[in-house]
Amino acid sequence: MPKILVIDDQPAVCVALTTLFELHGHEVRVAATPDEAMAAVLGDELGAVVQDMNFRQSATSGEEGMELLRRIKAVDPELPVVAMTAFTSIAGAVELIKAGASDYVPKPWDDQKLVATVGNLARLRALEQENARLLAQRGRARHRLAERHDLAGLVYASDAMHEVVSLAVKVAPADVPVLITGPNGTGKELLATIVQANSRRRDGPFVKVNAGALPDELVEAELFGAEPGAFTGATRLRAGRFEEADGGTLFLDEIGTLSLNGQKKLLRVLQTGEYQRLGSSVTRKADVRVLSATNRDLPRAIAEGSFREDLYFRLNVIELTIPALRDRPEDIAPIASHLLDRLAARAAGGERVTLGPRARHALAEHDWPGNVRELENRLTRAALVRKGETIEPHDLGLDAAARAPPAPIATGAAHAASSAPSAERLEIERALVEARGVVAKAAASLGLSRQGLYRRMDRLGIQIERKLK
Ligand SMILES: Nc1ncnc2c1ncn2[C@@H]1O[C@H](COP(=O)(O)OP(=O)(O)OP(=O)(O)O)[C@@H](O)[C@H]1O
């Protein structure tokens, strides 16, 4: 129980208050003069103070008490002080509160009220202190982690993310496969970068493959390479991704959508540590650490027969799961701020745009189906379309997102009756804006063919306005 300091020059009052607080489980310290009181405030762990306002028989103005209150508040502004006063005037009470008193009780006091008031204040202080201690502890832990490891620009404030990142840097030096799971755009590739950057292979190659985009007939050539003439059109020797990643790390993104044939080939190299180029009988050793990522529920895919269980166990020696952004709302504001810094660094004039209070509120309220990538897209869009100095909710497309669609920069009619822009729409719009409306360039940055991008634009009703050209 928190300790209470009782300050009164009358021994009878001190005895009465000591008995009262001790009866309710508090430890009590007593001071008869302002100097004794200050010695206790400076040297003891106190939960609350109950102080008289006059310390000499002749004094009645309360001046000495007011002076002591100010001295206490000057050294410990958070320490709750309850003044015991004969003041009944409103003016006196207001002055006390202004000077920092948490409350005041008249003399003679009501035992129950006094114990309740002081006890509540002391408990609140203990909670606040504990909170501050935990926050400081977490802040220190995050700081230490960032100091000792390369976090590749990943920003977070949540405990959930701290756990994931701590595990990532812990498993990084062990040469084991790591499977990174989590919804779209949560930072799986960024986390893979952290694992690689903190591994013993950090100076080796880091090769990334979108396993989901590998056409079945090219899986083998892509992963293991091909000799000239190995298949129609293979005119030159082609090194595979395992060969390129030799001595380093191979990151297989979208592993959940790798074809069954691709899974079989991958499993073999993971089991034996050996592979052959297509069209060659020479066996090569794979000195590669495999990291993989997926947003698919692999156990479910296994149950449905679309993912091999044996491959799952090979890839999933360690699993790192990144929570959806909506489940770690503390991360939204710091990531948004980081992304705005990044946008400013890339912008021609280097101007840093800020979020207006309504926009900040809208970000906190949004559900983030597209996670950090969606946040990135919305901020990029907002920085481009904003009219004022700060970003407003409608710039983000979050102006009552559920009620009406925002006016997109590249827009069409097809979606007009629909709800807020999807993450896909935002991503395409962003790519188009960055490519200044050049579809081929936007398609390349999205990893799509030009036709593929046109098809998506058609489906989403995105047309390019002249101003983008
Ligand atoms: N915590 C974070 N701090 C800073 N940037 C982040 C963070 N998380 C994600 N990002 C950024 O968001 C974008 C999307 O992240 P990333 O590509 O790593 O997600 P992903 O989960 O691999 O996406 P997908 O599921 O679509 O493959 C990237 O630009 C990345 O740098």
pLDDT in tens, 11-31: 999 999 999 999 999 999 999
Residue 245 pLDDT level (bands cut at 50, 70, 90) = very high
Domain extent listing, the chain:
3-128, 151-323, 326-468
Question: How many Å apart are CA 66 and CA 101, to the nearest integer?
Answer: 9
ipTM > 0.90 (yes/no): yes
Residue 155 CA: nearest ligand 1 atom is 3
Burial of 159 (0-12, 13-18, 19+ CB in 10 A): middle
Among residues 390, 398, 324, the alpha carbon closest in space to that of 361 is found at: 398
Regarding the beta carbon of 430 and ligand 1, being less than 6 Å apart is answered no
d(CA 457, ligand 1 centre) in Å? 23
Q: Do 3-128 and 151-323 share a fold?
A: yes
Q: Is the CB of 155 under 6 A from ligand 1?
A: yes
Secondary structure element (H or E) that encloses residue 161, with its range: helix 159-171
| pLDDT greater at residue 466 or residue 325 | 325
213-227 pLDDT tens trace: 888 888 999 999 988
The CATH code belonging to domain 3-128 is 3.40.50.2300
**Ligand 1: does its nearest atom lie under 6 Å from the Cβ of 295?**
yes
Question: Rounded to whole angstroms, what are the CA distances from 83 to 62, 80, 89, 334?
Answer: 10, 10, 14, 42
Which residues make Cβ contacts (< 8 Å) with residue 167, sequence separation at least 6? 318, 320
H-only helix segments in 8-89? 11-23, 34-43, 63-75
> Which ligand 1 atom minimizes the distance to the CA of 375?
12
Of all protein residues, whose CA lies closest to atom 5 belonging to ligand 1? Answer: 154
For residues 225 and 265, the answer to whether their CB atoms sit within 8 Å is no
Confidence (pLDDT) at 102? 94
Kindly give the distance from the C-alpha atom of residue 188 to the centroid of ligand 1, in angstroms, as a whole number.
Answer: 6
Residues in the chain: 469
Cα(187) to ligand 1 centroid in Å equals: 3
Peptide bond into 357 cis (omega under 30): no
Helix (H, G, I), strand (E, B) or coil at 410: coil
Ligand 1: does its nearest atom lie under 6 Å from the Cβ of 121?
no
Confidence tier at 126 by pLDDT (50, 70, 90):
very high
Q: 151-323 has which CATH code? A: 3.40.50.300
Q: How confident is the model at residue 189 (pLDDT cuts 50, 70, 90)?
A: very high
- Give the CATH number of domain 326-468; options: 3.30.2130.10, 1.10.10.10, 2.40.160.20, 1.10.8.60: 1.10.8.60
